[in-house]
């Protein structure tokens, strides 16, 4: 079993405090604070990091599915939009929108869409985030006629 870890440090109260999230065994330190999370401040936030993890995992799962089907991709680019909303119980992430574009020589549109939906359902990060609605807008840049 593979185990990955990240480390977060927070100093101060919620609104005036600040912190860092360390990834990759300290290879990447990401600053975050209240303004970056709940306003349009500089820095990052946990939701962006979740989005990055989801976009990366989905892209790898799609690359694998396409390759296994005999259509190795040239390029896949994915954006994840993670919605953070306040509700009666505090804050929640009700929805994640995945938007991907892929250059996949030789694959038809129907096969691409089927494999993209499978990748969305089966990537480990999608599975762990399944309490949120996860949508997918997948665009094939080099479609073959069906």
- Per-residue model confidence as pLDDT tens digits over 68-108: 999 999 999 999 999 999 999 899 999 999 999 999 999 99
- Residue 146 predicted with pLDDT over 90: no
Return d(Cα 49, Cα 28) in angstroms, integer.
12
The strand order across the sheet containing 18-23 reads 7-11, 18-23, 28-33
pTM for this structure?
A: 0.92
Answer left, alpha or beta for residue 12, where phi above 0 means left and psi between -120 and 50 means alpha. left
């Amino acid at each position: 079993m593979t185990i990955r870890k990240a480390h977060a440090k927070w100093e101060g109260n919620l609104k005036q405090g600040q912190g860092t999230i360390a990834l990759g065994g300290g290879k990447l330190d990401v600053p975050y604070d209240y303004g970056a999370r709940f306003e349009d401040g500089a820095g990052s936030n946990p939701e962006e990091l979740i989005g990055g993890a989801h976009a990366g995992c989905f892209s790898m799962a799609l690359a694998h599915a396409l390759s296994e089907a005999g259509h190795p991709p040239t390029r896949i680019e994915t954006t994840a939009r993670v919605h953070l909303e306040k509700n009666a119980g505090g804050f929640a992430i009700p929805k994640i929108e995945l938007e991907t574009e892929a250059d996949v020589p030789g694959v038809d549109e129907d096969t691409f869409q089927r494999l993209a939906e499978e990748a969305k359902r089966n990537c480990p990060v999608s599975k762990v985030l399944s309490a949120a609605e996860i949508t997918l807008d997948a665009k094939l840049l080099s479609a073959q006629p069906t």
